[in-house]
Amino acid sequence: MLRKRFVFGIVLATLLVSACTEKLSEPVSFRASQDALEARGGGIFLSVRAEGDWKIQILEGGEWAEVSPRTGRGDKNSVVLSYRANPEREVRTLRLALDAQGTTVPLTLFQAAGSGSEGGDGGGGESGGGDTPSGSYGKPTAAQQWLELPQTSASDGHEFFTRTCTLGGRTLRNYSYYWDYSDRVSLWIAYPLCSAFLGSQSRTDAWGYDPLMPAALQQNVSGGYNESSQYARGHQLPSADRTADYALNVTTFYGTNMTPQRHAFNEGIWATLEGKVRSWAGQSDTLYVVTGCVAAGARNVAHDRSGNAVTVPAAYFKAVLRYKKDSTIGHGGYMGAAFWFDHEYDSAGNAILWTGKTFSSAYSLSIRELESKLGYDLFVNLPGRVGTAVADEIEKEKPAGVNWWW
């Protein structure tokens, strides 16, 4: 009897160990970086999550859309969906299906209506109020009076874009950016940061093309830069600043939000500063943020997965404008700070090897000092909110002498 119990115990233990160590089957998912395809045509990334082999079918729209690759194995975030211009004045539908692990997952996307001519309706931009393209790609200047916006110009060849988001049933502005077509980077990305944009959504890693302009004019950020040992895909608007939901976080993984950053810088002091910014936002009603890069004077380029040259910025900066109603510090509830980092070389031309994560007031400067280095104005709508005299006090104050920041 004892022997039978002993054998039964071994069998039961074996079954328990087997059950605990057996790899659970991962759910199959099939997502697109956005569901609004631009009328002019372009490309986006599809994301597949599956174990084993998978296949993608085009059920409707195969005459104007292509998927590459159609088959694969395991997770893949860089399946390219390319599509042609919509010549019709009606929205058209693209229906896809992923076959994996004995199941079929459908995916439906919509392409914006064209102008009725072969050229389509254009690549989208600010006038559409969101991610649905209409009109030209971007705008030469910003018409909005948002506090976070820097100066724009109709004569510098760059274009202004903005996008909205829907959170809690409300339509909010998400972020704006100023695109440099020749360097393939956003010279700055400006956005508000407050509790409405923060939540429990984890990092999506949904690398994709920005639907506000044709894919051919952007970076192909699938899989990183060809020089991936040197450069990371550096967010300007951090993923962790947009965690309210999945759709919001996805917008931080567009190629227009990326620049080639040295790994030690990206994962070190820059990440520390990003954490500081979120901490400051948590102690504010709203923190208005401008994150930017300096392409002028850059010495190097990286190459995206389509072989396009992308300028490696010579420097990076952040400028923040804090607002806290009834605050006992600052000027009328506002206070500002700015930060500058040479990226690959210092002002004397010496190579910079970033190490560590230590951040201090040594990297800070006034907003006015940063504007002098950049050659354009930041927070151009601040004087209209608080008056010229108060705005001047805010912008010339040196944050190193203000304990609140530290």
How far, CA to CA in Å, does 259 sit from each of 226, 314, 360?
13, 11, 24
Average pLDDT, the chain: 87
Task: Compute CA distances 309 → 33, 119, 259, 378, whole Å.
Answer: 23, 27, 11, 28
pLDDT at 122 > cutoff 60 = no
Burial zone of 339 (CB within 10 Å; 0-12 exposed, 13-18 middle, 19+ buried): buried
Burial of 391 (0-12, 13-18, 19+ CB in 10 A): buried
Given a contact cutoff of 8 angstroms between Cβ atoms, the answer to whether 77 and 49 are in contact is: no
Q: Residue 191 carries which DSSP code? A: E
Helices (H), 244-312: 246-250, 263-267, 269-282
Domain ranges, ordered by start, for the chain: 26-122, 128-405
Assess whether pLDDT exceeds 80 at residue 117.
no
Q: Which CATH architecture has domain 26-122?
A: Sandwich (2.60)
- Best CA proximity match to 189, nearest among 303, 101, 277, 93: 277
Lowest mean pLDDT: which of 94-103, 136-145, 197-206, 386-395?
136-145
pLDDT bracket for residue 121 (50, 70, 90): very low
Half-sphere exposure for 265 (CA within 13 Å, toward CB): 26
**Dihedral-angle region of residue 116 (phi above 0 means left; psi in -120 to 50 means alpha; beta otherwise):** left
What digits encode the pLDDT tens for the residues 84-109? 889 888 889 999 999 998 999 999 99
**In this structure, are strands 76-83 and 65-68 parallel, antiparallel, or unpaired?**
antiparallel
- What's the mean pLDDT in 68-96? 87
Return the number of other C-beta atoms located less than 10 Å from residue 53's C-beta: 12
**270-327 confidence digits (pLDDT tens):** 999 999 999 999 999 999 999 999 999 999 999 999 999 999 999 999 999 999 999 9
Phi, then psi, of 55 in degrees rounded to 5: -145, 140
CATH number of 128-405: 3.40.570.10
How many beta carbons lie within 10 A of that of residue 362, not counting itself? 9
Cα separation, 176 vs 152, whole angstroms:
12
Q: Are strands 185-193 and 170-180 parallel, antiparallel or unpaired?
A: antiparallel
